[in-house]
Amino acid sequence: MKRHVMILLAVLLPSVALHAEKMDRKDPPVQTLTWGARIGFAATGTFLHDAYINGHEYTEYIQDTQVGNFAALQFRLNTRKLLIQSGLGLSFNKSSFNLDKNSWDMNSTKKDVISCSYSMVSLTVPLQFGFNLINSHPYCMSAFTGPLLRYTPDKYYSVEYEEYNQPYHFTDSPTRIVLGWTAGFSVQIGRTFLDFEYEVTINNVAEPMYETTGINPTPDYRLNRRVSVISFSYGIMF
């Protein structure tokens, strides 16, 4: 009997010790709600998706991606595998594009270029859902996606159209509320994190163009555009 007890203890004790060691190594509980702040840079490009001038459609244009910046407060609701995050951001974006109004005519040998440059300061509110690819304290790696609302007041929007040898002058105003879609990737080490994010707007960022000098007849211009934003930011969780 004593021999059997010794054998049983010899088998059980290593198992108990191994289980205790695993318990000691167990990750600390995941914080369910965190909040922080981040700042970064945003490269903004322009997509012309509906371009008509005097009945001619244009599909070829040159766009200039320009770099702005942004800052944001954000909060994140975390589980071991899933996350929901939102916040409030202030974003400064700028971009430009130009197209040749004679490009529709294959026989034309002259260029007639119209260019547009614009900038805007917007409030942004995302609602993103994601998955924690790695979540082991102090490391976390996540992928996320979701909609984003962008609000741009008139006073924080500027646009300039340039045409050579033309007497009229066009302008437009911002679409105050723009819906976009985002996808991104986040890496967190301790309290600091890096975010990489891509945003594309779904509706136009500007209202229809209009002529300001009153010259008649006024040509028919329609240059509807969307933007895409690639951003990189550095943040701290509090």
Domain total in the chain: 1
For residue 169, what pLDDT is reported?
84
- What are the tokens at 119? 């900038």
Paired with 187 in beta bridges are 141, 194
**Residues linked to residue 28 through DSSP beta bridges, in sequence order:** none
Contact 81, 127 (CB under 8 A): no
Average pLDDT over residues 43-62: 88
pLDDT over threshold 60, residue 10: no
Could you tell me if residue 228 is inside a domain? yes
Handedness of CA 198, 93, 164, 48 (dihedral sign): positive
Does a structural domain hold residue 148?
yes
- Burial of 95 per CB tally in 10 Å (0-12, 13-18, 19+): buried
Q: How many residues does the chain have?
A: 238
Asked whether residue 2 is domain-assigned, the answer is no
Distance CA 206, CA 172 (A): 7
Quick one: average pLDDT of 78-93? 93
Mean pLDDT of 220-236: 92
Query: 14: helix, coil or strand?
Result: helix
The confidence score (pLDDT) of residue 60 equals 84
Average pLDDT value over all residues in the chain: 85
Q: Are 206 and 225 in contact (CB under 8 A)?
A: yes
Residue 128's DSSP bridge partners are 85
The answer to whether residue 4 sits within a structural domain is no
Q: Which of 23, 30, 62, 26 shows the shortest CA–CA distance to 46? A: 62
The H or E element containing residue 25 is helix 2-25
Domain residue limits at 118: 29-237
Q: Is 5 inside a domain boundary? A: no
Residue 225 has pLDDT above 80, yes or no: yes
Judged against a pLDDT cut of 90, whether residue 29 lies above it is answered with: no
Q: Which residue has the higher pLDDT, 60 or 18?
A: 60
> Please, which pLDDT band fits residue 219 given cuts at 50, 70 and 90?
confident
Model confidence at 238, pLDDT cuts 50, 70, 90, reads confident
Q: What is the pLDDT of residue 159?
A: 94
Does residue 14 lie within any of the structural domains?
no
Are 37 and 73 in contact by the 8 Å Cβ rule? The answer is yes
pLDDT at 28: 53
Torsion of CA 169, 174, 179, 183, to 10 degrees: 80
Mean pLDDT of 123-150: 94
Going by the DSSP 8-state scheme, the letter that residue 217 receives in this structure is S
Instruction: Tell me if 10 is assigned to some domain.
Output: no
For the cut 90, the answer to whether the pLDDT of residue 220 exceeds it is no
Whether 216 has a pLDDT exceeding 50, the answer reads yes
What is the structure's pLDDT at 217? 72
CATH number (domain holding residue 144): 2.40.160.20
Answer yes or no: is 15 within a domain.
no
Q: Kindly report whether the peptide bond that precedes residue 217 is cis, defined as omega within 30 degrees of 0.
A: yes
Global pTM?
0.80
- Average pLDDT over every residue of 82-106: 91
DSSP sequence for 59-120: ---EEEEEEEEEEEEEEEEE-SSEEEEEEEEEEEEEEEEEEETTTT-TT--S--EEEEEEEE
Q: Band of the pLDDT at 119, cuts 50, 70, 90?
A: very high
Mean pLDDT in residue range 147-176 = 90
